[in-house]
Chains A and B, each alone.
Chain A
Amino acid sequence: MKKSSRVFFKIIACAWILVLAAICQTSAADYDYINISEPFSRKVPIAVPVFKSMSVAPEEEEIARDAAGQLAEALAYTGYFKLIDHGAFLEQPAEKGVTMEALNFKNWRDIGAELLITGGVRYEAGVLQMEFRLFDPFRAELLVGKRYTSPADDVRQMVLRFADQVIARLTGRQGLFDSRIAFVGADADGKAVYTCDFDGRNLRRLTKPQPIVVGPAWHPNLGSIAYTAYTDDRPEIYSVNTSSQEVTKLADFEGINITPAWLPDGSGLAATLAFEGDEEIYLLTREGKVDKRLTKSWGVDVSPSFSPDGKKMVFVSSRSGSPQLYVKEISSGRIRRLTYEGRYNTQPDWSPGGDRIVYSGMKDGSIDIYVVDVNTGEVSRLTRQAGDNEAPSWSPDGSMIVFSSTRTGSSKLFVMTASGTDQRKLLDMDGKQQLPDWSPARGN
């Protein structure tokens, strides 16, 4: 009995080692298409030819063309890829076929396509079915293959689901294409909390316009957004339900109630309150009751952001005489200063990977986006000479950053890759847009 159990454990241990080895091997093989340490230094050439219409339904051709365009656009949005022009293609999968057997990978290797995506569309009796394949033409290998079926006309949703699979296969990170961005929009009617998809589509206004609204912050389950508004003529923290748009008051202490930030597990939130006569960061319960005080220094302590594991918090403090970033370890209470360059560093956001913090810093009167390595303190600058650039926020996969910029006049939202490349406007909208917060990944 004793002996047999020892043998059993040995078998289990051996099996474990094999499993771990297999995981290590696949993960190494998985992600070598995109250089993770410098993912945007070289864009990977990818071909996304028009999808194939699989039956005779007349709607299919239009969907096939549209879906391929949407997928190409979504992938290009990440900044990882260079789309190969359709005019260069040597074969047309829409006519020849979309499977491994039907494709001649040499035709794709010859035009330098390191990746190829084919797709097929079937639309029958009101049911849409799409199949997608991601190939490596150089290895003649199928990397991902998926089929989606839906009774609704969900082309965009299907395309984005597959795009997520592609990025997950190539980088090991997920969640970008399913994320949304909250921000404050201002026009003649006032300010309100808005949301849009990761790429600026599906714009929605969540709250009524009012004179002052600041600092929207996603709840980790994406079901609500906390923000500060002067609805009752003073800065109080509210929460708006993203589906019902129902608004509830979360914190209305004497003095300011600003910069809410949810703990990654949603068990509570941190915010700056001044009811004790000094601007300090407090941890509140999810109902808005004070749990404990997190900072204690004369002067301003504001803008908390938690590390992904919720064990540390970065925040802005003027304790040294000018606003700088500090990191607090919640359990030990230990605080260390993170930024030393410049005299005005604010608006920190901790990266989903945990290793970096993006923030805005003022130098020579203009504000730009910087990233600081949490461990080494090394700082890199991401924007320059393009107006004021503020309020940076990481995408849930850590591959992109949304921020506001005055480079084209009044404040608008822009996105860029985590390295600062591919800076472009997120959406075209009248008035001012500011203080964006990129949502966490869904289902976390």
Chain B
Amino acid sequence: MLKKNHIQSLLLCMLVLSLVMVVSCGKQAPGPGEAADEPGMSESELSDAERAAREAERQAAIEEQEIEARRKAEQEAGQTEAEAREQFVNEKVYFGFDDSALSPEARDALRDKIEWLRANPDQCVIIEGHCDERGTDEYNLALGSRRAESVKSFIVKSGIDASRLSTISYGEERPAVEGSNEEAWAKNRRAEFQFTRCR
């Protein structure tokens, strides 16, 4: 009776042991997401601190990628804004001889500028009026003023606040192009645009 009891106890012990072993073996199996590409490395050797550092690094890498992406997007957007600003300044408005009236081309160019001014309500602009070298100095100064005022009033009529626009005339004093021919004159009879600090 005793012998039978001994065998029973032994079997129970073995079962318990094997159960324990199974449980501990289960614990040792690599969990999902852990470095399974290094099967030879015993994961049990990693300390909690090291694991935390690795995780932080991984997180940082992700974060960094996101920031980089965001910055790239921002830069691209910025470039188009700079381009738009550049275009605003580069696109001049041209006039006929002794004329301050706006041609259809001039109006088209100004509509683009009005768009931009609407989209950028914190921006202020100086409108410069220029003339070709023909004619006399004083009259050309007044004509340059007339051209700048004519551009300003067209923009103001579209609803842009007049306080964002100021005018200056340079008459024939600052030609865009040197030369005494119709081609040069046509390029010099113009209104130019410069950004300025708002008053």
Chain A positions near chain B (C-beta within 8 angstroms): 211-212, 214-215, 228, 233-235, 254-256, 258-259, 272, 274, 277-279, 299-303, 316, 318, 322-323, 343-344, 346-347, 360, 362, 365, 367, 390-391, 434-435
Contacts and interface: CB of A to CB of B under 8 A. Distances in A.
A235 B149 contact: no
Given A214-B171, A256-B169, A367-B136, 14 more contacts: A215-B137, A235-B168, A254-B166, A277-B149, A277-B152, A279-B142, A302-B139, A302-B141, A303-B138, A318-B98, A323-B98, A346-B138, A360-B136, A435-B137
B188 interface: no
Interface string B117-154: 00000000000000000111111011101100100110
Contact of A362 (B134, B167, B173): B134
Contact of B145 (A211, A256, A367): A256
A322 B145 CA distance: 16
A258 B98 contact: no
Given A256-B169, A322-B98, A390 B145 contact: no
List 9 A-B pairs, minimum CB-CB distance, nearest first: A302-B142, A300-B142, A346-B139, A346-B136, A256-B145, A279-B142, A259-B138, A212-B173, A274-B145
A316 B137 contact: no
A435 B136 CA distance: 10
A317 B5 CA distance: 132
B116 interface: no
Nearest to A212: B173
B98 A344 contact: yes
Nearest to B143: A300
A362 B136 CA distance: 9
A359 B186 CA distance: 26
Contacts of B100: 299
Contact of A279 (B145, B166, B170): B145
A365 B135 contact: no
A215 B138 contact: yes
Contacts of A299: 100, 146
Contacts of A254: 166
B128 to A, nearest CB: 11
Nearest to A390: B136
Interface residues of B, number: 23
Contacts of B98: 318, 322-323, 343-344
Contacts of B152: 277
29 contacts: A211-B173, A212-B173, A228-B141, A233-B168, A235-B168, A254-B166, A255-B167, A256-B145, A256-B169, A258-B142, A259-B141, A274-B142, A274-B145, A274-B149, A278-B149, A299-B146, A300-B142, A300-B145, A302-B139, A302-B141, A303-B138, A322-B98, A343-B98, A346-B139, A347-B136, A347-B139, A367-B136, A391-B137, A435-B137
A362 B134 CA distance: 9
A89 B57 CA distance: 114
Q: Tell me which of B145, B146, B166, B169 has the highest count of chain A C-beta atoms within 10 A of its own C-beta.
A: B145
Contact of A277 (B137, B142, B153): B153
Contacts of A215: 137-138
Nearest to B153: A277
A255 B142 CA distance: 10
A254 B169 CA distance: 11
A417 B171 CA distance: 31
Question: Which of A255, A300, A301, A391 is most buried by chain B, counting CB atoms within 10 A of its CB?
Answer: A300
A12 B169 CA distance: 63
A258 B136 CA distance: 13
Contacts of A214: 137-138, 141, 171
B135 A256 contact: no
A316 B134 contact: no
B62 to A, nearest CB: 53
A382 to B, nearest CB: 16
A116 to B, nearest CB: 45
A234 B168 contact: yes
A300 B153 CA distance: 16
B185 to A, nearest CB: 11
Nearest to A280: B142
